[in-house]
């Protein structure tokens, strides 16, 4: 995937989730170097974060020291052959980041490495800890000195604190996570163990793989494929797994019933790569199913179907196959705008959509077009897409969205947070249709969401306000 994923700048007119991270860990029991494997694993997860990345590696058969390198930018910008050659060891943890809390600065890059009385802990985190402020304050008053402004650091310090009175690091991790409220997929390493953990609701994905005598933990299965590893299984929601020379040990004490789990639908519709599987569900098939459901529930007389790159394209195929309306490639994405092109001057920000997304006029001129996208948040991008399609000559533009209408900001998964409320907060689909100048508009129905996850329960919080946990107040977003 290209760097357009996560490239949100709401003020520029492009709106989509701004934050996600990818975690990756490997323990080679045969003692082979893992830096190059970590590199390619992180590269496969690059779509989950482009602001910073890093890896920390240790040698389980040598002195207890950690080789750490992290930096701002994407994986190939931070690592080269020389830097990888310096990262010696057979146990490593890596991270790619696009921030929600904490500025995009080098001190906030992960993984985190802390040295404490019981040894060394490496930690990489994807998620959001809702009670991080309270934990941070308590730890600070007990003497902890924080080096970052990210919620992930509170997890590391909690584990270090609990380790003092625990028989092993696994018990310390369990005790620490028992105090945490929020979403997380964690990959950690102690001197001779690789540890993974997933929040009880299953909001964040995490899976296990194996290659020869090496075990891998990864946010997505696509990273396993990229390094020639075999998928073993997903880490269960609430599970803590410990990998050492005895194999995989599992602690299921934090697990909750299946009907209480709340997976994030945005992982399926937007964030995850199409060649990944999450909790046994193919992301490709999930997006195809979304398109099929929209064609069934919200049919329309049209000539062509087009998908907004990237996440709308597969759903457009599903809509086409179900409806019998031909699916065409009408959008051209400019992969070379990157993150640092000149911001439009006030009053011209809507032109940003045209800079990033072009339309093949010959494909849509005079035609009734169904356009498939993954979400409408503020309505700016949707309105611009309708506008450029009509300017290209489309006779009609019918918008279909593969998620329900967002009425709130997500506190646990992807970040839609803004001072502005989502457009659907106080406007009906008919009102939104008029605002974006579409000929018709339909969203996926909330009651159909679980069909996209094979019947597994999903979080509906940003669509109807029913969050799995009480969300933080806006004043809690303070760092």
Question: What pLDDT tens digit does each residue of the chain (479 aa) get?
Answer: 222 223 333 322 334 444 579 999 999 999 999 999 999 999 999 999 999 999 999 999 988 799 999 999 999 999 999 999 999 999 999 999 986 544 678 889 999 999 988 889 999 999 989 898 898 988 888 888 888 888 899 999 999 999 999 999 999 999 999 999 999 999 999 999 999 999 999 999 999 999 999 999 999 999 999 999 999 999 999 999 999 999 999 999 999 999 999 999 999 999 999 999 999 999 999 999 999 999 999 999 999 999 999 889 999 999 999 999 999 999 987 765 444 334 445 444 455 556 678 899 999 999 999 999 999 999 999 999 999 999 999 999 999 999 999 998 777 766 554 557 899 999 999 999 999 999 999 999 999 999 999 999 999 999 998 888 887 655 444 33
Closest CA to 55 of 30, 89, 31: 89
pLDDT at 20: 77
Tokens of 49: 């974060």
Phi and psi for 167 in degrees, rounded to 5? -70, -25
The CA distance from 296 to 315, in Å, is 13
Name the helix (H) or strand (E) containing 216: strand 214-218
Task: Pick the catalytic residue from 21, 222, 327, 410.
Answer: 21
Among the listed residues 193, 195, 151, the one whose alpha carbon sits nearest the alpha carbon of residue 174:
195
Model pLDDT, residue 174: 97
- CA nearest neighbour of 373 among 306, 273, 451: 306
Beta bridge partners of 93: 25, 56
CB-count exposure of residue 387 (10 Å: 0-12, 13-18, 19+): middle
Instruction: Give the torsion sign (CA, 140, 146, 152, 157).
Output: negative
| Residue 53 among the catalytic residues | no
Q: Do you know the residue count of the chain?
A: 479
297 contact partners, CB below 8 Å, separation of at least 6 = 442, 444, 445, 448
Cα gap 69→52, rounded to integer Å: 11
Tokens of 340: 């640092």
> What HEC string does 168-212 produce?
CHHHHHHHHHCCCCEEEEEEEEECCEEEEEECCCCCCCCEEEEEC
CB-CB contact of 430 with 390 (8 Å) = no
Q: Virtual CA dihedral for 274, 276, 279, 284, nearest 10 degrees?
A: 30
In Å, how far are 14, 62, 175, 379, 388 from 376, measured between CA atoms?
A: 11, 52, 40, 6, 17
Give the count of beta carbons closer than 10 Å to the beta carbon of residue 154: 27
Q: How many angstroms separate the CA atoms of 176 and 164, rounded?
A: 12
H-helix or E-strand containing 84? helix 81-86
Which residue ranges does the chain devote to CATH 3.40.50.2020?
A: 280-476
Tell me, rounded to whole angstroms, the distance of Cα 155 from its chain centroid.
19
- pLDDT at residue 1, as a whole number: 26
Q: Let me know: does 283 contact 308? Beta carbons within 8 Å.
A: no
Radius of gyration (C-alpha) of the chain in whole angstroms: 22
The class of domain 280-476 in CATH terms is: alpha beta
Q: What CATH number was assigned to the domain covering residues 10-261? A: 3.60.20.10
pLDDT of 364 reads 97
Residues of the chain with CATH 3.60.20.10: 10-261
Cβ-count burial 86-116 (b if 16+ within 10 Å, e if not): ebbbbbbbbbbbbbbbbeeeeebbbbbbbee
Q: What angle do CA 292, 297, 301 make, to 5 degrees?
A: 85
Distance (Å, whole) CA 414 – CA 127: 9
Question: Where in 293-330 does DSSP place strands (E)?
Answer: 304-307
How far does CA 282 lie from the centroid of its chain?
Answer: 16
């Amino acid at each position: 995937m290209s760097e357009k994923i996560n490239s949100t700048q709401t003020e520029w007119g492009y709106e989509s989730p701004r934050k996600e991270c990818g975690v990756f860990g490997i323990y080679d029991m045969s003692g082979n170097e893992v830096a190059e494997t970590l590199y390619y694993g992180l590269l496969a997860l690059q779509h989950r974060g482009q602001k910073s990345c890093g890896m920390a590696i240790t040698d389980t058969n040598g002195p207890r020291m950690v080789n750490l390198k992290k930096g701002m930018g994407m994986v190939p910008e931070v690592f080269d052959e020389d830097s990888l050659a310096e990262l010696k060891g057979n146990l490593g943890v890596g991270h790619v980041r696009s921030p929600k809390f904490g500025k995009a600065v080098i001190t906030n890059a992960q993984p985190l490495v802390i040295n404490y009385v019981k040894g060394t802990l490496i930690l990489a985190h994807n998620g959001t800890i809702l009670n991080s402020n309270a934990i941070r304050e308590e730890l600070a008053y007990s003497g902890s000195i924080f080096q970052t402004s990210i919620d992930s650091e509170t997890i590391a310090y909690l584990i270090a604190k609990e380790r003092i009175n625990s028989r092993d690091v696994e018990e310390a991790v369990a005790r620490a996570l028992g105090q945490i409220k929020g979403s997380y997929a964690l990959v950690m390493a102690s001197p001779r163990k690789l540890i993974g953990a997933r929040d009880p609701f299953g909001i964040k994905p995490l899976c296990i793989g194996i290659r020869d005598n090496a075990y891998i933990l990864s946010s997505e299965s696509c990273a396993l494929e990229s390094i020639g590893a075999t998928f073993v299984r997903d880490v269960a929601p609430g599970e803590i797994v410990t990998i050492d020379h005895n194999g995989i040990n599992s602690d299921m004490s934090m697990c909750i019933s299946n009907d209480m789990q709340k997976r994030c639908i945005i992982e399926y519709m937007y964030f995850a790569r199409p060649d990944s599987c999450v909790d046994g569900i193919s992301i490709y098939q999930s997006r195809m199913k979304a398109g099929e459901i929209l064609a069934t529930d919200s049919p329309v007389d049209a000539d062509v179907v087009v998908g907004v790159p990237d996440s709308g394209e597969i759903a457009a195929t599903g809509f086409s196959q179900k409806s019998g309306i031909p699916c065409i490639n009408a959008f051209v994405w400019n992969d070379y705008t990157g993150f640092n092109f000149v911001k439009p001057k006030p009053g011209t920000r809507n032109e940003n959509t045209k800079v990033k997304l072009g339309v093949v006029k010959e494909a849509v001129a005079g035609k009734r077009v169904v356009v498939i996208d993954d979400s409408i948040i503020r309505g700016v991008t949707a309105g611009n897409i309708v506008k450029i399609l009509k300017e290209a000559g489309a006779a009609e533009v019918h918008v279909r969205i593969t998620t329900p209408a967002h009425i709130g900001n997500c506190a646990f998964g992807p970040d839609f947070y803004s001072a502005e409320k989502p457009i659907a907060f106080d406007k009906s689909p008919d009102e939104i249709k008029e605002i974006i100048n579409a000929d018709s508009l339909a969203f996926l129905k909330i009651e159909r969401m679980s069909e996209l996850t094979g019947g597994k329960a999903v979080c509906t919080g940003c669509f109807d306000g029913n969050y799995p946990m009480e969300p933080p107040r806006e004043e809690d977003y303070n760092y």
